[in-house]
Structures are given as C-alpha cells and as structure tokens.
Chain A
Amino acid sequence: MSDSGAAVATLSVRSRGQWLAVVARQRELSLVAIMIVLGGLVTLTAPQFLTVSNLSQVAVLAALIAVAAVGEALVVITRNVDLSVEATMGLVAYCVASLLERHALGTTGAIAFGLGLGLVLGMVNGIVVTVFRVPAIVATLGTLSIFRGIDYLVAGSHQVPLASLPDGFTNPARDSVLGIPIFVLVALGIVVIGSAVLRSTRFGRQLYAVGSNPEAAAILGIPSRLVVFTAFSVCGLLAGVAGVLYVMEFGTINGTSATGLVLAVVAAVVVGGVNIFGGSGTLVGAALGALFLGFIANALILVGLSQFWLQAIYGLVILLAVSADAIIVRRIQRATAARRVR
C-alpha cells in the first residue's frame, strides 16, 4: 500500500530511525490496526456493531466522504487546500435534486449535469489560485462563501422532498453488488484508478513533485500551474460525485445541505496521513481516514454516547493525528542526525 505513496519504499529495516520511517509510511496499516482493535472493543459492549447491516451502513456513509476526501487529497498533495468542497457538494446536490424534481432532465442527464457543475466549480477554484495567484486558503474560503451563497440564491427557502425524486433514484445508496454496497464500489473504483494515476503516470508524479518542492519543479520545467489547476478541477469533479451521492443517500435536499462537511473531508485527509504541507500522502490513506471517522461516529452511537460528542471527537482525532505525525517525523530526524554524528 505504501507503494502508492510519494516515496516508493523498499522495506530495509536497519536502524530505529528507518524503522520509524517505515511505520510513518504505513499510515494505512496503522489506521486499519486501530480500527480492528477499536472494533473489537466496541463489539464487546455493543454486539450489533459487527453485523453486516451495520458495517455496510458505516461503509456507505464513509464512501460518500471518501470520494470528496480523495479529491481533497489531490489538492493537499500539491501544497494547496480546498475548503469549498462542502459548498460544491451542496450546490451540486441541490441542482441535481431540483432538476429531477422539475423533470427538466432525466436521471442520467441530471447526474451528468451535477458532475459537470462540480468540475466547473473546481475549475473556478483552480483559476483563482493559478491565474489570479490567490493563496488557496483565501481563494477557497472565498469560493466556499460564494458557492454557498449561490446555493441559497438558487434554492431560496425551497426544499426538494424525497418523494419528488424519480422512483429508484435513491436506490444505489441501499443496493449492493455481490454483497458490496454500490457506494463503496464507486469509492473503491475512484481510489483504485486515482492511486494508479498517482503512482505510475507522469501527471501523478508531477503532483507530488509540485507539492514536495515547487521551486525545483519549476526548474525542471514541470507546468506547476497546470498541475495545480488540474488537481483543483478533479477535486471539484469528485465533490460533484459526492454531491450526487449525497442526493441518493439523503433524498431531501435544500439550500443548506452538506453544510459543515468540509471538516469531515479535511479531517479524513489529515487522519489518512496526507501531509498538509504537500508532497506526500496516498488516496488509500484519505479514504481510510474517511472510513475511520465514519467508524468512530458509528461506534459512538452504539456505545450510547450522544451524537453531540461527535464534533468534539472529530476535533480530538485531528489534533491526535497531526501530533502523531509531528512526533514521528521528529524522531526520524533525530535518529538520522544521531547516525551522522556518532
């Protein structure tokens, strides 16, 4: 799994520093291990945790976030950030639901429109960042506000009820193929394709190069701005996919749908081990980060803690993940230094 990361690692364990380096590069395994241990503990107090229906419910919700988190990870790897994903999701969700309600487009047409809208919004972010040279955090904080405002403007106080969606439109949120929920298949497909692109194509490597050392990338003649623009565009497209999934999952959509989700998306990316300063991280990690958060949310409910704890625990998880990253990196650096000066 680490092979899809920035550093295509060979597992040669020679000293403590390198051992830690390997652990650091195995964030995906650590997350899986933590989930298994926690899952065991939760099952002891709430046996219904380990049922197919519960687990697939967790996976379906996590898949929705994972799709957006994969897009976010692409942007973060290039040393940028997209805070507008939730607004893109919300706007796409409302437009798709509204088009279906008014029978303006068929199911396929509405979905295609939603994806196209996501792509366009992502391209807007990309243009503001690369052409107008606005720092990503400012640009996407701005477009978060703008996209959300447009959402309100379009929706007004109207709410599209579940009932006015075409029959069967929301089925994919509940159906599964070969026992695997369709949402999960969608997320898996995106993660697999995305990982292959990141690992083995020129564009994928340029993404890491731009995030790892922008100056060196420029000197190498890597078209940094184009790479960053593409990352933002794909992020928008994937937020569009997540927006469509959101309609299928929740059915009832209004102008405030998906509010606050950016926190979960960014948390998934951070927890999944994508370096917030760019240059390293994997899509598998981001997706597992989303699964981890969904898992915690579910466990909280089963253990009987109120829903209100969720936000606080998300916050704690972000703080723990970023602290753990820093501690591991510093250990490695100290070990390397100690090896040099004996």
Chain B
Amino acid sequence: MAGRLDDRQAIRTMTDGVADLATMPTLRADLRGISKRFGATQALDDVSLTLVPGEIHGLVGENGAGKSTLVKILAGIHQPDNGTIALDGEPVEIAGPAQARALGIAVVHQEPRLFPDLTVAENVFIGHAPSGRLGTIDWSATRRSAARLFDQLDVQFDVGAPVRGLSMADQQLIEIAKSLSVDARVLILDEPTASLSAHEVERLFAIVRRLRDRGVAVLFVSHRLDEVFALCDRATVFRDGRHVVTTSTGELTTADLVRHMVGRAVSLFPKVETPIGELLLEVEGLTRAGEFRDISFSVRRGEIVGLAGLVGAGRTEVARVLFGIDRRDGGEIRLGGHAVSFATPSEAMDAGIAYLPEDRHQEGLVLDFSIAQNVTLPILPRLFPRLLVRASTERRVADEYTRQFDVRMTGVDQIVGALSGGNQQKVVLAKWLASKPRVLILDEPTRGIDIGAKVEVHRIISELAASGLGIVLISSDLPEVLAMSDRILVLHEGRLTAEIPRARATEERVMFAATGNLEPVAAGDQTSGAADV
C-alpha cells in the first residue's frame, strides 16, 4: 500500500516540477565571477556562466581549461574562492555533494560512480529510497519506482540485478534515472560520451533532449565539437581557466570553436607520405572466443594501418592478443614471414612488437617512477644483461628517446606524474621506441591530450612510419584515423567488416562499416560517432 502511494507521489512531484519549470522565465543557474586556485595554478579565473531551463548549454575547452573544476564546483566537490552562484534567482552556497543534490543539481560523470554490488533500483534511489513502516526501506516500492523511471526514459532494465557487469552506457543511464528520481533542476553531463558507441551516444542524446523539453537546464561538457553542435543550443568556451566566449551554436563554425579553444589557428594531421616497404606483420584468421573472430590483415614497413570501429568492437582485444597479453583461440600471426606465438608481452617485445595501451594511467606509466625509470622499464633485461642497473646508462637512454619528442620536463629524473597529459603520452611513446620495435601498435594515442600535443603526436607517428616502422593505429577519433592511415580496417562486433584504402576512405564509409553495414548508403544521414577536434 505504502509503496503505491509513494509511486503516485513520485509521479506527481515530477509533473509538478515540469509545470513549474515551464512557467519559469528566470535563469536556472547564474554563476558570476567564479575563481578557483589550486596552489600556484589558477584553475578558474573570474568566469561566468548562465543556464536556462529548457536549454542544453555546451561547455568546451582543452584539457586544463577549467571545465572539470567548474563541474566540481557545481557538484559541491570544490568550493570557489570568489564569485557567486544563484539558482532560480536564489543565491546559494554548495558546500558538499549532498547539498548539491538537495538543491537539484545532478551530475553524470564520464565514469559513473555507482555501487557495483547493489541493484540497479537501489543505485537509482540510494539515499532517498521509499520507506515503509518503521522507516525501513520499502524494496518493492523502490523497484517499481525505478522501473517506472526507466520506462520514462524508454529503456529496458532488470532493476533487480546488480550493477556489476553493466556497460558504461547503461551505467550512465542509471545516473540519469537517478537525477530524474531527485527531480533535478540542473543536469550536468561531464564528458559522457567518451566511452560510448555511436549508437549509445544517439540514445543518450535523445534522452537528454527529452529532459530539456521538460524544462531541465542541461550543461553538456565535452571536447567533441561535432557533439556540441549536434546537441547544444548555446556553447561556452573556456581557455586556461578564463571565459572566452558564449554564443549560440548556430552562429559558430567548427573552425571558430577550435580557434577560441586554442587561441590560434591549428593545422591538424601533418601526415608525411612515405614509400611502403616489405611485409612485416601478417595476421590470418585470428580468433578469440567471445571477443573477435576470423581477423586477417597485414602491415608493411612504413605503413600506418588504421583500426577503426565502435567501442567494444574488439580493436583493443586484437591488439592484446598481438602483444601476448591474451591468448588466441585460433588463427596465425606471422612476423617477417615466420609464424610466431607469444605467451607474454615480453616475448612479443623480443620479437619486435610494441603496444601503447589505451589507458595511460593504469597501463602506460608508473606515475610515481621517474621519466628515466619509465622509459627503461620494458628494456631493463636487454639494457642490463648482468642484472645490475646503472643509472648513467638509464639516463642516457631516456635522454636520447625523450629528446626526439621534445618532452617538456626539468630532466629525466622528474617524476612522470608531474607532467601534463600530452608530455606523459610522449614519454610512453619514447618508452616504446626505446624497445626498438618493428611493429608499433598505438591504442588511442591522443585520447585526453590537448590539441597542441595531439598535433605533435601525429607528427611523431608520421615520422616513425617514415623511418620504416609498421604502425597499427587504433582510434575512436575518426578524423584522426582518416588523416593518418594508409589503409583503414573496420571492425564491427568482433568481425572485420571493411578494408578501405586511403584514397577511398571517407567518414561515411568507415561509419557504415563500423555499424555493421558492408556497403555505404547515401551520405548525409549518418551519425558521426566520434569526430573530434
């Protein structure tokens, strides 16, 4: 009984909310003169931003521009040093996350912060579950209310199952349902699409638009400009902690936006054309159960082979097998004409394969090792066959490889964690080049680094190919794959669906193969899943 009452109440609150929102002409959120300093770093410097009910506001900027700091201030994680925040005309102080929620501010983080052991329903209602007699939690009412919220979002969920094992996209939907359950006035989406497939991005956008139409004020933080154009009504650009411009997205072009973000015009993707040499790596019928099936391709000297596909299509999984992290279930790998089989990454390295992993912090670097210690980590046994490590040799090797890439550092003894993302990525590249590979597999080499560094990384990749390496480039950044690759292989659900030579490669062709279509249909109505700056 109590449960049913609660349900009705929940719905009424929700419709009440909508009515209120529709008649509200004022600014939903009004941030003025916000500044925030961390030690010597001025993360935000006198920025202002307004959010309007029924509007999706895009917030763009490079890494370090201050987007995340602003989100964290709104979420109550940080408090501003200066400035005022008003919600619906009322000045407020957001002292903590709980208060942010109480004020109706909901944040969907890039990586959802859910409880894997708890059920979907409980995650939605955690902290405010319907209670029955004695103030205890009414589980059946909780489940029913959660199911109803997902109905409103038009998605199917087993609300009684634990969250563990759900995809990132599903977890974000749970976060959104959570914001519905507290009747959020402001919904902040912080880089929500970074690990979603194109399909999932579309579903997310549809839901966000529906919420906007109900009168929610949405702040959409992203660095994917095409998404900002597709979704947002207005956009604000931050640069180096300062507000640069706020304007309607209709009045902007991509080029304008990029110029605002970096403060200068940038020429992207300086690919150097290089002659393509003999066969290096051949993969035939490679299969790993549950991940990918029957993958065949080859890489030649000087060639950059792009590996495109949606997140979860099996690109990283193929790379993991090539690098000896996972074992194959079938198929053959030949290196320089000889069949090879790797039980461990060190065997793959010895054979001349290097793999720059997707996750720089978890897999790429030991953040509190020095630059020199990171660069030499893979080649220690080779560098010091008599076991004893000599620091001078180590520094010399690290110096030699980092210098090629112009890593901005105080010296090779500097701790890697103290470098910026772009410089960290250059250290990872140096680390793998020091192992003198023949084939270099790059997995999302420019993810999470700013545009300037990205251009440099592209230049490096190009030069490496020119020096005779065979390169496999895995990237979700379509313009990057198109610009850098000599050939593009497209994976869809673990199968190779297309092999497109550079001359014929277009975004449409790749996207269609990536969504499982073998022939591109008329251009124009496709969705570009991951077009980056």
- Chain A residues near B (Cβ < 8 Å): 3, 6-10, 12, 18, 21, 196, 199-202, 205, 208-209, 211-213, 215-222, 275, 279-280, 332-334, 336-338, 340-342
| Chain B residues within 8 Å of A7, by CB | 117-119, 160-162
Which residues 102-139 of B sit at the A interface, judged by CB distance below 8 A?
113-119, 121-122, 126-127, 129, 135-137, 139
Return A157 CB to nearest CB of chain B, in Å: 48
- Supply 12 further A-B pairs (C-beta < 8 A) apart from A199-B137, A209-B126, A215-B113: A6-B118, A8-B121, A9-B162, A209-B115, A209-B118, A212-B117, A220-B98, A221-B97, A279-B115, A280-B117, A332-B165, A341-B314
Compute how far the CA of A139 lies from the CA of B291 in the bound complex, rounded to whole angstroms. Answer: 43
**B291 x A341 contact (CB < 8 A):** yes
Compute how far the CA of A338 lies from the CA of B317 in the bound complex, rounded to whole angstroms. Answer: 13
Compute how far the CA of A220 lies from the CA of B113 in the bound complex, rounded to whole angstroms. Answer: 9
Residue contacts A-B, CB under 8 angstroms, 29 given: A7-B162, A8-B119, A8-B122, A8-B160, A9-B162, A10-B161, A21-B161, A21-B162, A200-B137, A201-B136, A205-B137, A212-B115, A212-B118, A213-B114, A213-B115, A216-B114, A219-B97, A219-B113, A220-B97, A221-B96, A221-B127, A279-B117, A280-B117, A334-B290, A336-B165, A338-B290, A340-B312, A341-B291, A341-B312
**A213 x B119 contact (CB < 8 A):** no
Compute how far the CA of A342 lies from the CA of B493 in the bound complex, rounded to whole angstroms. Answer: 7
| Identity of the chain B residue whose Cβ is nearest the Cβ of A336 in the assembled complex | B165
Compute how far the CA of A279 lies from the CA of B118 in the bound complex, rounded to whole angstroms. Answer: 8
**B137 x A6 contact (CB < 8 A):** no
Given known A-B contacts A205-B137, A208-B115, A341-B493, A10 and B160 have beta carbons under 8 A apart: yes
| Identity of the chain A residue whose Cβ is nearest the Cβ of B134 in the assembled complex | A200
Q: Does B101 make an interface contact (CB < 8 A)? A: yes
Compute how far the CA of A334 lies from the CA of B329 in the bound complex, rounded to whole angstroms. Answer: 15
**B101 x A221 contact (CB < 8 A):** yes
| Chain B residues within 8 Å of A220, by CB | 97-98, 101, 126-127
Q: Mark B229-266, 1 if CB is under 8 A from A, else 0.
A: 00000000000000000000000000000000000000
**B165 x A333 contact (CB < 8 A):** yes
Q: Mark B288-315, 1 if CB is under 8 A from A, else 0.
A: 0111100000000000000000001010
- Of all A-B residue pairs in the complex, the 4 with the closest CB atoms, nearest first, are A221-B98, A10-B160, A216-B113, A200-B136
Compute how far the CA of A140 lies from the CA of B30 in the bound complex, rounded to whole angstroms. Answer: 50
Return B459 CB to nearest CB of chain A, in Å: 35
Compute how far the CA of A141 lies from the CA of B162 in the bound complex, rounded to whole angstroms. Answer: 33
Compute how far the CA of A212 lies from the CA of B493 in the bound complex, rounded to whole angstroms. Answer: 31
Compute how far the CA of A272 lies from the CA of B223 in the bound complex, rounded to whole angstroms. Answer: 48
Return B365 CB to nearest CB of chain A, in Å: 21
Which residues 140-164 of B sit at the A interface, judged by CB distance below 8 A?
143, 158, 160-162
**B312 x A202 contact (CB < 8 A):** no
| Identity of the chain B residue whose Cβ is nearest the Cβ of A12 in the assembled complex | B158
Do most interface residues of chain A lie in helix, strand or loop, or is the interface mixed? helix
| Chain B residues within 8 Å of A200, by CB | 136-137, 139
Compute how far the CA of A209 lies from the CA of B114 in the bound complex, rounded to whole angstroms. Answer: 9
| Chain B residues within 8 Å of A196, by CB | 136
| Identity of the chain B residue whose Cβ is nearest the Cβ of A223 in the assembled complex | B98
Q: Does B167 make an interface contact (CB < 8 A)? A: yes
Q: Does B61 make an interface contact (CB < 8 A)? A: no
| Chain B residues within 8 Å of A10, by CB | 143, 158, 160-161
| Identity of the chain A residue whose Cβ is nearest the Cβ of B100 in the assembled complex | A221
**B114 x A205 contact (CB < 8 A):** no
**B493 x A6 contact (CB < 8 A):** no
Pick from B143, B158, B314 the residue with the most CB of A within 10 Å: B158
**A219 x B290 contact (CB < 8 A):** no
| Chain B residues within 8 Å of A222, by CB | 127
Return B334 CB to nearest CB of chain A, in Å: 25
**B136 x A6 contact (CB < 8 A):** no
**B136 x A219 contact (CB < 8 A):** no
Return B248 CB to nearest CB of chain A, in Å: 33
Return B319 CB to nearest CB of chain A, in Å: 15
Return B425 CB to nearest CB of chain A, in Å: 25
| Chain A residues within 8 Å of B114, by CB | 213, 216
**B126 x A205 contact (CB < 8 A):** yes
Compute how far the CA of A220 lies from the CA of B107 in the bound complex, rounded to whole angstroms. Answer: 11
| Identity of the chain A residue whose Cβ is nearest the Cβ of B138 in the assembled complex | A200
Q: Does B77 make an interface contact (CB < 8 A)? A: yes
| Identity of the chain B residue whose Cβ is nearest the Cβ of A222 in the assembled complex | B127
| Chain A residues within 8 Å of B53, by CB | none
| Chain A residues within 8 Å of B77, by CB | 219
Return A165 CB to nearest CB of chain B, in Å: 40
Q: Does B494 make an interface contact (CB < 8 A)? A: yes
Return B22 CB to nearest CB of chain A, in Å: 30
Compute how far the CA of A18 lies from the CA of B117 in the bound complex, rounded to whole angstroms. Answer: 15
Return A9 CB to nearest CB of chain B, in Å: 6
| Identity of the chain A residue whose Cβ is nearest the Cβ of B75 in the assembled complex | A219
| Chain A residues within 8 Å of B139, by CB | 3, 8, 200
Compute how far the CA of A156 lies from the CA of B186 in the bound complex, rounded to whole angstroms. Answer: 66
Given known A-B contacts A220-B97, A341-B290, A213 and B113 have beta carbons under 8 A apart: yes
Return B493 CB to nearest CB of chain A, in Å: 6
| Chain A residues within 8 Å of B116, by CB | 212-213, 279
| Identity of the chain A residue whose Cβ is nearest the Cβ of B127 in the assembled complex | A220
| Identity of the chain A residue whose Cβ is nearest the Cβ of B140 in the assembled complex | A8
Compute how far the CA of A212 lies from the CA of B113 in the bound complex, rounded to whole angstroms. Answer: 11
| Identity of the chain A residue whose Cβ is nearest the Cβ of B120 in the assembled complex | A7
Compute how far the CA of A342 lies from the CA of B293 in the bound complex, rounded to whole angstroms. Answer: 10
| Chain A residues within 8 Å of B160, by CB | 7-10, 12
Compute how far the CA of A213 lies from the CA of B126 in the bound complex, rounded to whole angstroms. Answer: 13
Return A161 CB to nearest CB of chain B, in Å: 47
Return B326 CB to nearest CB of chain A, in Å: 12
Return A1 CB to nearest CB of chain B, in Å: 15
Return B303 CB to nearest CB of chain A, in Å: 28
| Contact among A12, A216, A275 with B115 in the assembled complex (CB-CB below 8 Å) | A216
| Chain B residues within 8 Å of A8, by CB | 119, 121-122, 139, 143, 160
Given known A-B contacts A7-B119, A9-B160, A212-B115, A340 and B167 have beta carbons under 8 A apart: yes
**A337 x B126 contact (CB < 8 A):** no
| Chain A residues within 8 Å of B96, by CB | 221
Compute how far the CA of A279 lies from the CA of B136 in the bound complex, rounded to whole angstroms. Answer: 20
Return A81 CB to nearest CB of chain B, in Å: 17
| Chain A residues within 8 Å of B115, by CB | 208-209, 212-213, 216-217, 279
| Identity of the chain A residue whose Cβ is nearest the Cβ of B98 in the assembled complex | A221
Compute how far the CA of A333 lies from the CA of B96 in the bound complex, rounded to whole angstroms. Answer: 35
Return A176 CB to nearest CB of chain B, in Å: 31
| Identity of the chain A residue whose Cβ is nearest the Cβ of B77 in the assembled complex | A219
| Chain B residues within 8 Å of A199, by CB | 137
| Identity of the chain B residue whose Cβ is nearest the Cβ of A197 in the assembled complex | B136
Compute how far the CA of A196 lies from the CA of B137 in the bound complex, rounded to whole angstroms. Answer: 10
| Chain B residues within 8 Å of A279, by CB | 115-117
| Chain A residues within 8 Å of B314, by CB | 341
Return A325 CB to nearest CB of chain B, in Å: 13
Compute how far the CA of A127 lies from the CA of B47 in the bound complex, rounded to whole angstroms. Answer: 42
| Chain A residues within 8 Å of B289, by CB | 338
**A6 x B290 contact (CB < 8 A):** no
Compute how far the CA of A62 lies from the CA of B129 in the bound complex, rounded to whole angstroms. Answer: 36
| Chain A residues within 8 Å of B165, by CB | 332-333, 336
